[in-house]
Structure 1
Amino acid sequence: MTSDSAETGAGASGFWHALHAEHRGALLRYVRGLVPGDPHRAEDIVQEALLRAWIAAPTLHERATGSPRAWLFTVARNLVIDTRRRAAARPTEVEEELASHAAAHVLDDQTLDTVVVARALAELTAAHREILVRFYCLDHTGARIAADLGIPPGTVKSRTHHATRALRGALEKTGIHE
């Protein structure tokens, strides 16, 4: 390191310390206004803006005709915008407790629906239950069901119709009309 670069480094370091002492408080208040309710993120943004000022200190020091406050505020505003864009591009983060609680409610509703339908299916005859399971749960076609069970396709259509009506009646007994 030559004496010129040592002087430049010392000047940049002194410039940065002065910048930090003079502008950090105002910059933090400004950023807190941009990210209300999140003081930690505001502090991180201020630190990042000051870090960028430290990196750019030699050029900022040389070209600074007035106060570099406008440059700092612009950098901070751009950092806030960047963090918002990044957050918008990512899925929303949910705390584990809330996520498991929400999942439990969804699971409870799904489980309840499954239990209700299973009980209604249990009330059907074996032939009707088998037709509905193959048709609606396994997505088999009428022709495939007919071939698998060795019955005519017309019988599959008829059983499907009667099994659906019987299932609807069993579900209505439980109070479900959908």
Structure 2
Amino acid sequence: MLSEQLLWKLILLSALAYLVWSDKVSIVLGSGPAADATEHPGSGQVRAAAFDLSGPAKSLNTRPVPEVVVELPSGDLKNTTFAIDPAFAFRNSVKPAVVASRLEKCGGYIARFAPVAIAEMHKFDIPASITLAQGLLESDAGESHLASGTNNHFGIKCFSKNCRKGHCVNYTDDSHKDFFVRYSSAWGSYRA
């Protein structure tokens, strides 16, 4: 009978072999461009770089990769809008000062909460970038009604039937009886 450790190794090896042979994973050998930039009219450059920045990339995958473009609706002006959709300002005639102000709020939010996100990453192995991105989007850089009223930056709901007074608050979200956890500080929301 196979030992459990050997069985897990075989399962992992089989899964990796499947991913490589099924063309679900692109393996890049060599080096990537210093910056692969796409310019949208009226916006700053969007840059993506590979791990090795010393030369051109060589991919074993010859399938064309479709370009992903996110276009937010015109009424969706939030602090995170220009980070998600860099061409939004051009399409909707938003003044550069407004764009700069909103992006500055996002940068300030990241700078403020990066230390706690990094600390939590070391404890729970959740990438700090994922935690920060979720908090940034869910709380609109800390300025949403829920975040400013309850310090709840992630939209964490309360499902308890016997909360102590002040533990949660009712906000209309998906239904009229949505209760969200209230935190004493935004840092508490990050540590939840």
The answer to whether the superposition gives a TM-score over 0.5 is no
- Judging by fraction of residues, say which structure has more helix: 1
Which structure is larger by alpha-carbon Rg, 1 or 2?
A: 1
- TM class, shorter-chain normalised? under 0.3
TM-score normalized with structure 1 length: 0.25
- Judging by fraction of residues, say which structure has more strand: 2
Larger relative contact order (Cα-Cα within 8 Å, sequence gap ≥ 6): 1
